[in-house]
Amino acid sequence: MTDHRTLATLQALAEPNRLRIVELLRAGPLTVGEIAQRLDLRQPQASKHLKVLTDSGILEVRPEANRRIYGLKRDRFQTLDDWASSFTRSMEERYEKLESYLDRLTANEKPDEAKGNEEEG
């Protein structure tokens, strides 16, 4: 089951401009003005997206003089990675069960049946 934090993160990232902001901040922290300029957004629009990203726990803000510097919060991305990895583990378990089942089927096949199948194919 998806927890509240993971759901909030996914919802925040679902908006294309917010995802672009997060991708931009992957290279390092930036001010609102720098983000707006690099993504060709108006500053109020960028600020609105930054608030959503901050409220959802994706970004952290640190004041520096009269500017606000935005950066990614590493722990939120670790939570997302753990969530995504759970799908990989689940699929790997299913493939292992399928492989085991197919091995049992192959082991139970009689030699004459296997030879007959090879000749047909």
pLDDT tens profile 29-72? 999 999 999 999 999 999 999 999 999 999 999 999 999 999 99
The DSSP line for 47-71 is HHHHHHHHHTTSEEEEEETTEEEEE
- Residue 12: Cβ-neighbour burial (10 angstroms; 0-12, 13-18, 19+): buried
Query: What would be the CATH architecture of the domain defined by 4-73?
Result: Orthogonal Bundle (1.10)
- Considering the chain, what percentage of its residues have pLDDT values greater than 70? 88
pLDDT digits 0-9 by tens, 13-39:
999 999 999 999 999 999 999 999 999
pTM here is: 0.69
Domain range summary for the chain, segments of one domain joined by +: 4-73, 76-109
pLDDT at 1 over 70: no
